[in-house]
Structure 1
């Protein structure tokens, strides 16, 4: 598959892949960069963790709101999912087991990372969705099949996020629960659209778990 995000840079940091015991694929938000999301990764990095961040063409994965009909966000959505898949494959080809690959996204990146795991369910090292949710005008929890086998899923968002309706956060958590993930949903009062220390602490816990596996 080719698309707008194929051929873009894959930023790497942390422990080199050929020396890594685990990996984290970080997906940036609208208007941001792979370099910027890697900085978040560095805040939770431990020795043994490789950081991989795909870059969106023109810094945007898809053009419309994640609440728009899916076809309005093509081909960006599908191309972005392929970019995530390529990053995961880069890690597994280097010898990192898929159950030690954590996917993390913020905002538009959280939407895309959530969509990737829900559409490609297997036992990854974990999913972290920061201020995001599953993509589409509507989300039917019964439309997803698979088994995440107790994989940790962290879903964090404000109750008044201007871009992410609380209802979509809730249905996203429901989907992952139906897929047999171990879901940790945390809703923060009045936070707005951002990331807080409690969320970073939760990410650090997931990193520590995959590195000790």
Structure 2
């Protein structure tokens, strides 16, 4: 088992000059630079972009629907990396309603898990093929009020890693926490990011 060291790759505007920031979380086997490359397609021009890098390119060792204990201490360590990064962004004068989150696959799961545990008004939350983490979801873990934060959650049907049922469970929890959630299920789509998802995210979350 492992924990994460703090390695942040940055792009976009300098944090001291930006009015908005986005935390981007890569998938298993990927890297910070890979997830940052989405800036070519997403409307991030005015944002400071910050992407943590996972130890061994993986945020936690097993699938996201394994019992939570099997993914410790890596999962808690990953959540702490995000918490520290949010605190640093806020210390630069960017408040939570101007902080955005985006992740793909394992990074999307981590994005949802962190924000649901720290629900408040954020700029927006983008979970490209992801769901909340754990064999069963423990609703008492999820606290706060998103105050209408726009959220997008997607998966394929079937997807090899993220079942539709978990996306639906996650959508319900986010709605209960007062998020403004849209979700899309793509029949037959492989485990990837589609142009249609990019279009929706740009229009509904980043516009």
The normalised TM-score by structure 2 is 0.94
Q: Retained in 1: the 8 A contact 2:98–2:123?
A: yes
In 2, the alpha carbon distance for the partners of 1:190 and 1:141 equals 30
Is 1:24 aligned with 2:22? yes
What secondary structure, in the 3-state scheme, does the structure 2 residue paired with 1:133 have? coil
CA deviation after TM superposition for structure 1 residue 143, in Å: 5.5
Query: Shift in Å at residue 21 of structure 1?
Result: 1.2
1:43, distance to aligned residue in structure 2 (A): 2.2
RMSD, aligned α-carbons: 1.4
Residue 54 (str. 1) matches residue 58 (str. 2): no
In the alignment, structure 2 segments of 5+ residues that lack a partner are: none
Cα deviation per residue 1:60-83 (whole Å; 9 max; x = unaligned)?
110011111101000110011111
Q: Deviations over 1:29-79 (max 9, x none)?
A: 000000100001342144321110000001011001111110100011001
Q: How many residues align?
A: 205
Q: Which runs of 4+ in 1 moved over 4 A?
A: 140-143
CA–CA distance in 2 between the matches of 1:83 and 1:142?
Answer: 22
SS in 2 for 1:13: strand
- Structure 1 residue 84: Cα displacement: 1.2
Partner of 1:4: 3
Assess, with a 3 A threshold, how the Cα gap between structure 1 residues 149 and 201 changes in structure 2: closer, same or farther.
Answer: same
Output aligned runs, 1:37-186, within 5 Å.
37-141=35-139, 144-186=142-184
Q: Name the CA distance, whole Å, in 2 between partners of 1:105 and 1:67.
A: 17
Q: 1:69 to 1:96 in 2, by over 3 A?
A: same
